[in-house]
Amino acid sequence: MPMPDEIVGLLRSTILLKWPDGHETRYRARDLRLACRCAQCIEETSGRPLLDPATVPETVRARSIELIGQYAISIDWSDGHGTGIYNFRDLRGNCPCDACRAAR
């Protein structure tokens, strides 16, 4: 999976990833925060969710977005969470746009 050409989303309600093929993936910041798969949010052995969605404010925003190698990003969220890794394969594969949803 290629890296996005551009990632826009600091302190915004939407995080936008622009891909080399021209496709644009948009996630609501809160939806991406709720999708975190780190050990603090998902129980490692059972896969049971540990994160209570009610504890994540609607206004959660990305305070920083850092590249992890050439395969993922790490996001420091305004709710104090920052241990999740979002890989590009999943970010693109789970794109919520109508065209991508229809193709799945």
Report residue 3's pLDDT band, with 50, 70 and 90 as the boundaries.
very high
Q: 50: which residues sit within 8 A by CB, 6+ positions away?
A: 40, 41, 42, 43
- Using a cut of 0.85, tell me whether the model's pTM lies above it: yes
Query: Can you name the CATH fold of 6-103?
Result: NE0471 N-terminal domain-like (3.30.2020)
> For position 34, what pLDDT does the model report?
97
pLDDT digits (tens, 9 = 90+) for 16-64: 999 999 999 999 999 999 999 999 999 999 999 999 999 999 999 999 9
